[in-house]
Amino acid sequence: MKIKNYIATIMACLFTLPAMAQLGEERHNLAVGVNVGMNMNKAGFSPQIKQQSHMGMEFGLTARYMSEKYFKMMCGIQAEINYTQRGWKENIEDGSENTYSRTMNYIEIPLLAHLAFGKDALDKGMKFFVNAGPQIGFFLSEEEKMSDNWDPTYRPNGVVQQYGKMTENKFDYGILGGLGVELSTKAGHFLLEGRYYYGLADFWGSSKKDDFGRSGHTYMGVRLTYLFDITK
């Protein structure tokens, strides 16, 4: 219930930003650009599977529209379309020295409320910002990697159903949040951001007859974004 309330609050902020124009100083700053980053991925499973972070790259296009300024806070909306690598890497502790990882490729589309604090969006200098909102994703492909001496017979928890089990649900959705710093110059805007994503969807079936009651993505990442102004 708390997650549903959180999503509702974020969506309300996104769709009421234009309506709040009468309360603050209007801005019409549209900037577009590119982003690139790295994610430390894991997957939430029930029953649990021991894991360590699985590194994956991410890159894409970003568009940001700043609409309001309230004292030292600027409000806007940010949309992206990204290619990203997700998945997980198992921490196998049965003495077999086996290794296993899975890379899952997605196109993801976040729609974020963007709040910035500090210099005006049109001024040169440094500012801090917060991003938060929903994200959807579309599965593209996946690849399993396992060691040559593969033998899952003696896994301590007996959970082996994930091996060879391909993605069943190709649509993903969840909550994305980020904190970062932005440097605005004559050449454009440079943003460094840390992000966290919690997936609300399962990529495998989760009914009572299925092997897993939960199979969802989570990741922490860092990214660099470059934006240039289209309108000011």
One pLDDT digit (tens) per residue for the chain, 232 residues: 555 554 554 555 555 544 444 455 777 899 999 999 999 999 999 999 999 999 999 999 999 999 877 767 889 999 999 999 999 999 998 888 999 999 999 999 999 999 999 866 556 789 999 999 999 999 999 999 999 999 998 887 889 999 999 999 999 999 999 999 999 999 999 999 999 999 999 999 999 999 999 999 999 999 999 999 999 8
H/E segment holding residue 13: helix 2-16
Q: Partners of 55 in the beta sheet?
A: 40
Count of domains forming the chain? 1
Residue 188 backbone phi and psi in degrees, to 5: 135, -165
Beta carbons within 8 Å of 114's beta carbon, 6+ residues apart: 64, 66, 75, 76, 77, 78, 129, 130, 131
In a domain, 84, yes or no: yes
The separation between CA 143 and the C-alpha centre of its own chain, rounded to angstroms, equals: 20
In a domain, 20, yes or no: no
What does each C-alpha distance from 199 to 103, 129, 223 come to in angstroms? Answer: 16, 23, 19
In a domain, 32, yes or no: yes
For residue 223, give its domain range. 25-118+133-167+175-231
In a domain, 2, yes or no: no
In a domain, 4, yes or no: no
In a domain, 100, yes or no: yes
Give dist(CA 199, CA 222) in Å, integer: 18
Q: DSSP states of 101-138 as a string?
A: EEEEEEEEEEEEEEEEEES-TTSSEEEEEEEEEEEEEE
In a domain, 1, yes or no: no
The pTM for the full model equals: 0.86
In a domain, 139, yes or no: yes
